[in-house]
Amino acid sequence: MDLQGFLQRQPADYADTRALGRCLRAMVEAGLDQLPLPGSGQTLERFQRLAEVGGHDLGLCKLYEGHTDALAIIQQLGGSPTPSSTWGMWAAEPPQARVRVRPHGHLVTLNGCKAWCSGAAVLSHALLTAWDEQDRQQLVAVALDQPGVTVTNHGWQAVGMGATGSVEVLFEGAEAQVIGSAGDYLQRPGFWQGGIGIAACWYGAAQSIAERLRRHCAHHEEPHALAHLGAVDSALHAAAEVLRVSALTIDAAPLDDAELLARRARAVVEHCAEHVIRHVGRALGAGPYCKDGQFARLIADLPVFLRQSHAERDLAALGQQVLTESWTL
């Protein structure tokens, strides 16, 4: 079964985190989590699959993207994921929530609080950033069904993306396995390549929202709605072209630093998504917000998911990088 066929057979609503977890497990069992690795020559296919799930449901996409990102990172750093496992990728580092690692035989032990742990209550494993005794960032893989791991109900009051259950997790002597070397998470080429994968998720949701406007315009002669559709099309076309070129660029030079490529792609797709939200809402009014359940979830979830971008801070970082760049056609 292909991914699109699988998604079409899923229920129209994911009521809570458990429903998302069941769906992710079914995807893993069907082998639908086996995406081409970034830089493998099929990066566009990876982005397309992420966009498909994003257009279906962003809560599911958040768990699916985290799981497939964790699998890619483990393989890139020489590890081997546990068969039939479901993974979170938890790398948020707020100052008040850091996990510490200490050597413990051939493993390490974890102590501390990790914030923004999407799907924590329904996943089997997590790949997370922690800090060693020399205050270096280290990736570790941890099984979540062990003593010393407490999934709390703290830190998550969201309405948009609410079903992801992105709560705080406490570690008290939990055992984990080191993945790669200190600093590898940020230094590997796949870090920024994966950041473009997030933008593909945003794009898929924006495309799905925009389809409602296209269907409306196909059956109603409304000049203003058509003008909104034209604005939406130009934004989506630009974003799609940027994602395609990004995939080709990564495949042509998979070991190159992709930070500038990723910052540009994310900025373009974020702008596109915000553009789509505004124009579709103005064109269609309150109807789909109130009567189309999938649309209502996407329109509530997408602004929250977009905040994985740091807005003007990310734009300032992009501006700093292009001070000596040329925009010549």
In this predicted model, what pLDDT tens digit does every residue of 136-168 receive, in sequence order? 999 999 999 999 999 999 989 999 999 999 999
- pLDDT exceeds 90 at position 230: yes
The pLDDT score that the predictor gives to residue 80 is: 85
Q: What share of the chain is helix, strand, coil (3-state, %, to 5)?
A: 55, 15, 30
d(CA 19, CA 22) in angstroms, rounded, equals 5
Give the mean pLDDT of 173-198.
Answer: 95
Span 87-181: which CATH code?
Answer: 2.40.110.10
pTM (2 decimals)? 0.96
The pLDDT score that the predictor gives to residue 11 is: 81
Task: Give yes or no for a contact between 175 and 108, defined as CB atoms under 8 angstroms apart.
Answer: yes
Fold for domain 11-77+188-323? Answer: Butyryl-CoA Dehydrogenase, subunit A; domain 3 (1.20.140)
Share of the chain above pLDDT 90, in %: 92
Strand partners, 102: 109
d(CA 173, CA 111) in angstroms, rounded, equals 6
**Domain-wise residue ranges, the chain:** 11-77+188-323, 87-181
Task: Give yes or no for a contact between 204 and 248, defined as CB atoms under 8 angstroms apart.
Answer: no
